[in-house]
């Protein structure tokens, strides 16, 4: 999946010897934008410890090191498949002091699945930069006997009551991936909504639920530690962070494959020069070598963009999902 107008990593303009606090405002202006000099809040729509939170904190740490913001903090606003944070962004002052880090699961599918979505990302948000693409996955509790997707299908078919699966976001990619698997393999799949990945991981680890769906980044660390088992991903090709795990295309279902994304947003009325400056700074932080390594290890295919390129991607994905969701008839009350 390729996106236009990639933003290459910028050279650092601050050396360790120049990063004194008194020089920060000067260098922020010198880098071509009016970056806010107050505390910047990065809203995350999921609890601490989940994949979205971990990736956001990795990028935030790079922002702090770069020294172009006086203070940057993450504010977790979990709830309603991540859309509570989106509503908070809509009503935030458009001065660059509040931005949102969110997946497509919170900004694309909810446009069509929520009866009363309190925002529209096309009109209420200003896209800043893409940070990468991500596959959804099916993950199993270590307490199931299944060690592969084929094992899991046979196990569920043997007792349809086993078809419950936890999902990190009702009405979004993880939810629909579970339903797609039910259609493909002819087995009952009943979603159980969770407030993000952290509580789902806790229940999977404890054996309270046997299967779950979410972004690869939500479960990759637990998969590597053999605490959970990822047995299938949603993409047209295997995830680079998990080349040993089959994808839908491997099973002959490339036509049902899907990939989500992560990125940053500001309120819609944010002045254009500030949008451009924020986008450049966030893209540069994302492309720092250690951040790229961390994000890649979590399963993100790291890729940045201009604000225009990201806005186009968001609008296009919303339209791509419209017929799929309308056909399903699914709505979140």
Q: Which residues pair with 132 in a beta bridge?
A: 262, 302
Residue showing tokens 């200003």: 126
What pLDDT score does 235 carry?
Answer: 93
pLDDT at 13 over 70: no
What pLDDT score does 242 carry?
Answer: 86
Work out the pLDDT band at 333, boundaries 50, 70, 90: low
Q: Which of 104, 168, 96, 98 is nearest to 132 (CA)?
A: 104
- The predicted-structure confidence for 15-53, as pLDDT tens digits, reads as follows 233 333 333 343 344 344 589 988 999 999 999 988 999
Q: pTM higher than 0.85 for the full model?
A: no
Decide whether 16-133+261-328 matches 136-256 in CATH topology.
Answer: yes
What pLDDT score does 330 carry?
Answer: 86
Q: Which of 171, 85, 76 is nearest to 121 (CA)?
A: 85
Q: Which residues pair with 100 in a beta bridge?
A: 43, 265
For 261, list phi and psi in degrees, rounded to 5: -140, 165
Asked which of 6-10, 151-155, 312-316 is least confident by mean pLDDT, the reply is 6-10
Mean pLDDT of all residues in 90-118: 96
Q: What is the rounded average pLDDT for all residues in the chain?
A: 89
SS3 category, 56: helix
Residue 298 vs residue 119, higher pLDDT: 119
- The predicted-structure confidence for 195-233, as pLDDT tens digits, reads as follows 889 999 999 999 999 999 999 989 999 999 999 999 999
**119: which 2 tokens?**
């925002």
Tell me what percent of the residues of the chain surpass a pLDDT of 90: 79
Q: Beta-carbon neighbour count of residue 195 at 10 Å?
A: 19
The Cα 90–Cα 94 span in angstroms is 9
**317: which 2 tokens?**
């994905």
Q: Which of 39, 64, 62, 57 is nearest to 101 (CA)?
A: 57
Note the Cα 200 to chain centre separation in Å. Answer: 16
Asked if 132 and 310 count as a contact pair (C-beta separation under 8 A), the reply is: no
Asked which of 20-24, 147-151, 264-268 is least confident by mean pLDDT, the reply is 20-24
SS3 category, 52: helix
CATH node for 136-256: 3.40.190.10
> According to the CATH classification, is domain 16-133+261-328 in 3.40.190.150?
yes
Q: Beta-carbon neighbour count of residue 35 at 10 Å?
A: 21
Please classify residue 225 by burial: count the beta carbons closer than 10 Å to its beta carbon, then call 0-12 exposed, 13-18 middle and 19+ buried.
exposed
What pLDDT score does 1 carry?
Answer: 39
Residue 239 vs residue 30, higher pLDDT: 239
Hey, where are the domains in the chain? 16-133+261-328, 136-256
The Cα 242–Cα 230 span in angstroms is 9
Contacts of 252 (CB under 8 A, 6+ apart): none
* Helices within 14-171 (DSSP H only): 24-30, 51-66, 83-90, 104-107, 110-113, 121-124, 149-158
């Amino acid at each position: 999946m390729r996106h236009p107008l990639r933003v290459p990593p910028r050279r650092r303009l601050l050396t360790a010897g120049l990063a004194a606090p008194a020089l920060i405002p000067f260098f922020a202006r010198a880098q071509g934008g009016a970056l806010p000099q107050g505390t910047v809040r990065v809203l995350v729509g999921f609890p601490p410890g989940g994949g979205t939170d971990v990736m956001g904190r990795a990028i935030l740490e790079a922002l702090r090191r770069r020294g172009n913001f006086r203070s940057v903090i993450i504010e977790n606003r979990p709830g309603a498949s991540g859309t509570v944070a989106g509503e908070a962004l809509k009503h935030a002052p458009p001065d660059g002091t509040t931005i949102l880090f969110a997946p497509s699961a919170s900004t694309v599918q909810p446009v069509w699945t929520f009866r009363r979505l309190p925002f529209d990302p096309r009109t209420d948000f200003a896209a800043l930069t893409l940070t990468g693409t991500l596959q959804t996955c099916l993950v199993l509790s270590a307490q199931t006997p299944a060690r592969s997707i084929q094992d899991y299908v046979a196990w569920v078919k043997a007792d349809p009551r086993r078809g419950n699966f936890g999902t990190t976001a009702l009405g979004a990619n993880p939810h629909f991936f579970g339903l797609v698997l039910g259609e493909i393999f002819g087995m009952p799949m009943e979603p159980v909504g969770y407030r993000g990945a952290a509580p789902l991981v806790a229940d999977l680890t404890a054996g309270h639920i046997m299967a779950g769906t979410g972004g690869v980044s939500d479960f990759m660390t637990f998969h590597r530690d053999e605490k959970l088992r990822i047995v299938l991903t949603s993409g047209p090709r295997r995830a680079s962070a998990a080349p040993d795990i089959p994808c839908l295309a491997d099973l002959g279902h490339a036509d049902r494959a899907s990939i989500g994304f992560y990125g940053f947003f500001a309120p819609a009325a944010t002045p254009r020069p500030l949008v451009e400056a924020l986008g450049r700074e966030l893209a540069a932080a994302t492309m720092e070598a250690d951040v790229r390594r961390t994000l890649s290890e979590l399963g993100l295919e790291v890729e940045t963009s201009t604000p225009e390129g990201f806005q186009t991607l968001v609008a296009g994905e919303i339209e791509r999902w419209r017929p799929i969701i309308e056909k399903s008839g699914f709505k979140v009350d």
